[in-house]
Amino acid sequence: MAPETGPDTRGKGAFVFTVDVEDWFQVENFKPWIPFESWPHRELRVEKNIHGLLDLLDGGGQRREATFFVLGWLAERYPHLVREIYGRGHEIASHGFNHHLPAMQTRKALREDLLKSRTLLEDLIGERVWGYRAPSFAVNEEVLALIQECGYLYDSSYNSFDRHGRYGRLDVSGFLRRGIAIKLQDDFYEVPVSNLTLGDQVIPWGGGGYFRMIPARLYAGGVRRQMNRDGAFVFYTHPWELDPGQPRVKGASAQYAFRHYINLNRTAGKLAHCLQALGPVRFTGCRNYLRLMGDAVACQKEKEAIYG
C-alpha cells in the first residue's frame, strides 16, 4: 500500500469520466413544470442516449472506463440497461432513487432513498455498490455523514464552484488527499467534480452545460491545464445532453430553457473531439481511481467482498 503521507503521482493523467443517469424530464431546472407524479407518463428516451455514450466511450480504438451514477427510478424500469452498462466494463453507482435533493428530505426519507437505490443496483449487477452522487451536487456535512452511514465508500457530489444556488457547501480543508480524492474518514472518501482554478478564482469546468457552452479546443486546454496541476480531472455529463430531439418543456423559464437546451446538437461530436484531444491519458471511473491511488480502504473493502 502507498504511504499515508507525501506526494503520490500514480494517478497522474487520470481522466475520471462520470455519467449522471437521468432522463430529460427528471432535471432539477424543470421541476416547477414537470411534477414528480407525471414522470410515469413521460416519454422515456434514456436507453438510446446511454447506448450513444457507451459507443462513444468505446470509440477510436480505445475502451474508456466510466462511472455511471444511476437513478433508481430508471433502474427499476431499465434493469437490462444497468446490466449492459456493467457488462461493458463500467462502474455502477447510485444517483439516489427519485432525484430529490438530499438537503430537502428528512433524515428518514434520505436514508430510505440511499439504501433503496443501492440495494436495487446491487441486486441487478450482483456486486457491491460503493459510490453515490447527489442530484445537483446538493450535499453538506450532515448528508455526507448519512451517506457514509448507509455503507457507501465514497461520495462524488462536491463541486467547488460556489456561485450556483443548489450546489452544496463543504469545508474540505485540512483533510488528507490521495490525488484529487479527499479522505474524510478512515472508510469514506470524497471524489470531487473538477473545475478550472486560476489564482483564487474557480471557473466551472467539470461538465454539463458549462462543457456545452465552452469551445471544444478551449475546454480541452483547460482540462489539460488542470490535470497537469492536480494529476486528474473528474468530468460529468448526462444522457439527455446527447439528445437534441428531446421534447421541449412548455412554460419553462427562458433562463432554465437556455441552460438545458444550449448546444445539445453538438454534445456528442464535441465529446468525441475532446476525448481524442486529451491524448494519452488514463480513462477511469471513480472507484478504480481510488484503487489507482493505492487506497488501503478500497483494498480492504474488496477483500471483504471476496472473502466475507
Question: How many angstroms separate the Cα of 22 from the Cα of each of 135, 136, 203, 221, 250?
Answer: 10, 12, 25, 28, 20
Highest mean pLDDT (candidates 80-84, 165-169, 255-259, 275-279): 80-84
SS3 208: helix
Confidence of residue 307 (pLDDT cuts 50, 70, 90): very low
Any idea how long the chain is?
A: 308
Please check whether residue 9 lies inside any domain of the structure: no
Residue in the structure block whose three cell numbers are 407525471: 38
- Residue 210, domain CATH: 3.20.20.370
Q: Which of 14, 1, 3, 4 is nearest to 228 (CA)?
A: 14
Q: Sort 219 into a burial class: Cβ within 10 Å, 0-12 / 13-18 / 19+.
A: buried
Please check whether residue 287 lies inside any domain of the structure: yes
Q: Based on the structure, what is the number of domains in the chain?
A: 1
Domain that holds residue 151: 14-307
Please check whether residue 220 lies inside any domain of the structure: yes
What's the whole-number mean pLDDT along residues 181-191? 92
| Res. 122: pLDDT tops 80 | yes
Note the pTM of the prediction, 2 decimals: 0.90
